Amino acid sequence: MEKETIKRSLTVLVLLVIALQVDTVLSLLLEGIHILVEVVELAAEHLLEALFGLTTRASQVVTAWLGFAVFLAALPFIVRKIKALLSRLKVAAVEQWRTRSAVAREWARTVHARRWVVASVILIATYTIFF
């Protein structure tokens, strides 16, 4: 039971850090991806220079074109994954909206009409005072 509590606490902590520092986390993630791409690019350049005897400039050009070809080959897969993710998010959002609106309608039916009038008067008075 204690390990489960620790796991949940760490999960909540990580989610809070991501939620509250999303710009820093995203920046760090993008920087990590950039460094990974640079390392792979450098390794490919050295491999091309060693195996085929290309100059540094020629190996950079070949690496750039190979990277572009790999990107174009992976692009349909990436687009498909993004579209599927957005579709799932849309379905989940609609389902959550329906659930919450049903709960709100049920709650609205339980409130007495006189309380609606009192709440409306309070809202109008607050609006006229502060705005």
Task: List, for residues 110-121, the tens digit of each pLDDT value.
Answer: 888 888 888 899
Q: How far apart are CA 97 and CA 68, in angstroms?
A: 42
24 burial type by CB count under 10 A (0-12 exposed, 13-18 middle, 19+ buried): exposed
Segment 68-92 mean pLDDT:
96
Give the distance, in angstroms, between the CA of residue 25 and the centroid of all CA atoms in the same chain.
11
Predicted confidence (pLDDT) per residue in 22-35, tens digit: 888 889 999 999 99
pTM of the model: 0.56
